[in-house]
Chain A
Amino acid sequence: MWACIVVWFAIQLLMNLGVFGRGSEPWILGIPFPLFVNLIVTLCATAVTLALNRLWQDFPERAEDALRREGEGGR
């Protein structure tokens, strides 16, 4: 997961440094290249972020149990 996030961050930063070119060519589906790359990378990043929801699916029970064990949990 963290590797995906680092890759996504690196692609965005490299784009900003001009590594993938500095113009709007080529055009893909009527969208200029830098914008297209941005949208695709962001789509992947959103999917990775949402995958966290699956990875953390046990967290609520663990957290509530831990607070209960502390004896002073709740509000």
Chain B
Amino acid sequence: MSVTAAVILVTAIYSAICLWIGYYGWKRTQLTPVDYFLAGRSLGTFVLSLTFIATYASLWTFYGAVGANYRLGPSFMSAMITWNLIWPLMIWVMGTRLWVLGQRFGCITPSDLFAEYYQSEAMRVLTSVVGIIALIPYMSIQLLGGGLAFEVATGKAIPFWAGALFMAAVMMVYTFVGGLRAVAWTDVFQGIFFLAVMVALSVWIFGIPEGGNAFRASATANPKLFDPTNFGWGQWLGFVCTWGLSPLLPHLMQRCFMARSARVITRTAASLAILSPWVQTVPVMIVGVAAVSILPGLKGGATDAIIPLLLAKYAPYVGAVVVAGAFAAGMSTLDSQLLSASSLVTRDLYRYVRPGADDKEQARVGQLFVAVVTVVMYLFVLTKPGFIVVLGTAGAGIAIAGYLFPAIGVLFWPRAGRVAALGGLVAGGLTAFLTFAVWQFPLGLHNTLWGILVGAVVFLVLAYATRPLPYPQQARFHGLLADAIAGVRKAGP
């Protein structure tokens, strides 16, 4: 059997399993927004943990992070492991509060929560638009990477456009029919598959001829590899802030609304504290660092192809499994982002087109947008735009630097009123965009850090210069949180 045939066979089996899970999700999904977008808030610890980790780990983890470990060594690993410990911590600090408020106020999107608290339609539209801006370029990266993985593994026997089309079609079908249930259950399968492939690669690499003493050999091949200052503290801190605070991204924030109970959300945070730094990050580091001596001399973007190059050299047929692993990493992120973008359009923007739309109509419109966004994204990716990665990183930074301030007001600090939250959102998001797209990384600081710094100044000044929300409105949220988190009910102003 040729390598191309092996790639097609393994990917076909993998896709058939995803579609079968999608069918299973469809049989159990009712056409209501809460069921279609949040699986009826019914996820248990096992499914929620794996949908979190599978959504969090993307094709970038599979290719880009391995390359970054190859170029920067433990300096990058130190950042990666730090953000992979911080974001599970954020599920505790923030996710528990989001779960309580999501249950009480029936929130489906982050905009639902912000608009309900700040009593502001401007807030609803702005957070929805910022969320969509953050998600679409990031989704395109996954599709772009999937198409390229197919093309490289088959020696261009299957062209880029066909690989990307196949990935988009499979993902769209199961997301369209099964909604979040299909997405979450495929994430379980894809997450286990992706993590197993990564762990297996990190063990296998020590068994190949040059892999036995890989760390010492890598230190000899690149004496600067283990210099902890390789990454630079401005980028280190920026990456840690961006991905450590990533539960603020819409598709991850929505996962906090999906837990079946309060116990599920805390158990999920505990399991993510193990899965994310140890099962995901350490294998990525081992493969990246060991590859320095096995595949010496790679530079820049070529380092992103370390896994395909290793397999092409030592185990070409295993490459078929790894393409499916890459598909799993990309699709599990892409499907969640696609459904989240669809919910933002349906719940937060479509209401202005058809104010009286009932639950069934909203769910149908959600399905329609899943299809429309997939087609638009595929056509966009066909142009292979080189700035997608730039836009993707900038997009995540914009959403995180923007969403941070309204979230602080809703979850922690009642002093921050409507004007402060809107000011922080606009100032943080806009600064994160400008310090990437116009004036990239001024003074060596990452754009997310600039967004957070400028947004924080505007947010604080406006919080003290303008009125907070009326006390009864504050008490609806912060009184409930004080009761749920600390067992203290605030009695009056």
Contacts and interface: CB of A to CB of B under 8 A. Distances in A.
A34 B74 contact: yes
- Assign chain B's interface to a size class: 35 or more
B82 A9 contact: yes
B104 A42 contact: no
A60 B263 contact: yes
Interface stretch (B169-177, B223-231, B296-304): B223-231
Interface in B7-42: 34, 40-41
A42 B414 CA distance: 34
B483 interface: yes
B333 interface: no
Given A16-B236, A62-B484, A73-B104, A46 B278 contact: yes
Interface in B216-236: 216, 219, 223, 225-229, 231-233, 236
A16 B231 contact: yes
B491 interface: no
A60 B269 CA distance: 13
Chain A binding surface SS class: helix
Contacts of B233: 13, 16-17
Contacts of A24: 219, 223, 225-226
A41 B100 CA distance: 33
A66 interface: yes
Given A12-B78, A16-B75, A66-B100, A75 B226 contact: no
A62 B229 contact: no
A12 B82 contact: yes
A59 to B, nearest CB: 6
Contact of B92 (A32, A56, A61, A74): A56
Contacts, number: 138
A52 interface: yes
B85 interface: yes
B427 to A, nearest CB: 26
Interface residues of A, number: 46
Contacts of B215: 30-32, 35
Contact of B229 (A16, A58, A63): A16
A35 B274 CA distance: 18
Given A35-B74, A70-B104, A46 B228 contact: no
Contacts of A27: 216
Main secondary structure of the interface of B (DSSP, over half): helix
B103 interface: yes
B78 A75 contact: no
A20 B228 contact: yes
A52 B480 CA distance: 22
A27 B216 CA distance: 9
A42 B225 contact: no
A58 B484 CA distance: 10
B279 to A, nearest CB: 11
B77 interface: yes
Contacts of B261: 60, 64
Interface string B298-339: 000000000000000000000000000000000000000000
Nearest to B285: A35
A60 B483 CA distance: 12
Contacts of A72: 104
B96 A63 contact: yes
Contacts of A38: 74, 77-78, 81
Nearest to B482: A66
Contact of A49 (B41, B77, B89, B104): B89
A16 B219 contact: no
B274 A46 contact: yes
Contact of A35 (B77, B232, B237): B77
A73 B270 CA distance: 25
A27 B81 CA distance: 21
Contact of A67 (B88, B219, B273, B484): B484
Interface in A1-47: 5, 8-9, 12-13, 15-18, 20-24, 27, 30-35, 38-39, 42, 45-46
Contact of B88 (A9, A32, A49, A75): A49
Interface string B183-215: 000000000000000000000000000000001
Given A24-B219, A32-B219, A60-B262, A13 B237 contact: yes
A22 B480 CA distance: 50
B355 interface: no
B472 to A, nearest CB: 14
Given A5-B89, A13-B237, A63-B484, A32 B96 contact: no
Interface of B: 34, 40-41, 73-75, 77-79, 81-82, 85, 88-89, 92, 96, 99-100, 103-104, 106, 215-216, 219, 223, 225-229, 231-233, 236-237, 261-263, 266-267, 269-270, 273-274, 277-278, 282, 285, 289, 480, 483-487
8 contacts: A16-B78, A24-B225, A35-B289, A38-B77, A49-B88, A50-B273, A59-B266, A63-B485
* 10 closest Cβ pairs, A-B complex: A24-B226, A63-B262, A60-B262, A66-B484, A60-B263, A66-B483, A49-B273, A63-B484, A18-B229, A34-B74
